[in-house]
Amino acid sequence: MEKYTFIDRYLHSQYELLDFRFSQNRDINTLFTYLNNLHSTADKLKELFGCNIKDTPEFKILRTVRNYFHHIGDVDEIRLYVSAGENTIVSHSQHLIIPLETFAKSLKSFIDNNTAPEGHRDHKRKKAFIESELGSMFICFDYGPELLQNLEKFCNRPSLKLDGKIYELGFDMYKFVYNITNTIADKCREIEELKVKQAVIDLDSSYTSSKNIEKLDITCSPANAPIMTIEGFIYPNKIEAAI
């Protein structure tokens, strides 16, 4: 009987989520299943092998979205191929987009659930915990502090008028899923009981954290920087507030 099938389930669900060859298998449960399998994999790696992936920034971001999805509201995903503009280099060819509103609400839920009122004996400890966790997450993407400073606004369907059309802003999770999968692959190769599993043996050499996508994953001209929306990258000539 196959042992440690949590790894098989995780790898299968990430294939369905990221690999275009499995796109025909995607449905309304694909993202939810992946996030739950990631959560379960982290628990079992820690429990069975003393292997902790829960401190990685990518895991913390995805766990925050998973907890929102699991306990509060739906998370709608949009799958698109990357449309790179002139003089733009992008690290990946697909987007895994959720509304930026959803990610902001996920962060707000995390903050609310871990906040103790002033005067409470745990107030300082919990405040320090929140700041530490958010600081760790923001290692992965470059507008975290701005998002936090305007969190209430971002929780209310943030949008911009770009070249006369209103677009809802989006948050691309592809990089975080890609990177945490590479981290898990490396950990599996270090664990005797897991490195002999066929699902791990079958992973090609690209599955390693040395191939992880960097925080700044777009190279472009400042005059032609894309804006992430739920319709993918938009390269506007005119940017206005959405009224």
Work out the angle between the directed axes of helices 57-71 and 123-137 (0-180°, nearest 10): 110
Question: In whole angstroms, what separates CA 32 from the centre of its chain?
Answer: 13
Compute and round to an integer the Cα radius of gyration of the chain. Answer: 19
Q: How confident is the prediction for the chain on average, in pLDDT?
A: 89
What pTM value is reported for the model? Answer: 0.91
Euclidean distance between CA atoms 136 and 134, whole angstroms: 5
pLDDT digits (tens, 9 = 90+) for 54-80: 999 999 999 999 999 888 878 877 776
Is residue 119 over pLDDT 90?
no
pLDDT digits (tens, 9 = 90+) for 170-221: 999 999 999 999 999 999 999 999 999 999 999 999 999 999 988 877 766 6
Q: What is the pLDDT at residue 90?
A: 62
- Residue 79 phi, psi (nearest 5): -105, 125
Classify residue 20 by its DSSP letter.
G
Strand order in the sheet with 94-99: 78-81, 94-99, 170-172
